[in-house]
Amino acid sequence: MKPAILIVDHGSRRPEANTLVTQLAERVRRRVPDRVVEVAHMELAEPTVAQGLAACAEAGASEVVVHPYFLGPGRHTTQSIPQLVEEAARTLPGLRIRISEPLGLHESLVDVVLARVDQAAP
């Protein structure tokens, strides 16, 4: 049984915005090929959190870490996502699910901010 990661973003009506989390998941998969990596959108697009968790279970995962792809601990990361996970978990008995912290303040994000600033158009 493989452990799984479910990366959850807000979701958008704009397909190109939703594609970003899919591209991130592809890169995560390359780094951790021993894990199942799926994506979900909290709202506005599919796959939903319930669909993402089901995909993890169907891929053979017995444990899933849900990662809120958000910057800080706001309402979505502290209330909305945990509620969606709890609702979906009722239909997936035996699947162990944990929720990680959002991106937060991490030294790597300083590097990303500085890289984006350096790349800004003149």
- Angle between helix 49-58 and helix 81-89 axes, rounded to 10 deg: 50
Residue 121 has pLDDT above 90, yes or no: no
| Per-residue confidence (pLDDT) for residue 9, from 0 to 100 | 97
Which CATH number do you get for residue 97? 3.40.50.1400
Is the distance from CB of 42 to CB of 7 less than 8 angstroms? no
Give the residue among 19, 48, 23 at the shortest CA–CA distance from 37: 23
Instruction: Indicate the pLDDT class of residue 122, thresholds 50, 70 and 90.
Output: confident
Full residue range of the structural domain in which residue 83 is found: 3-119
Higher pLDDT, 84 or 1: 84
Does the pLDDT of residue 118 top 90, yes or no?
yes
pLDDT in tens, 9-61: 999 999 999 999 999 999 999 999 999 999 999 999 999 999 999 999 999 99
Return the DSSP state at 13: S
**This prediction's pTM:** 0.93
- The number of distinct structural domains making up the chain is 1
Residue 92: is it exposed, middle or buried by C-beta count within 10 angstroms (0-12/13-18/19+)? middle
Q: pLDDT digits over 93-111, tens only? A: 999 999 999 999 989 999 9
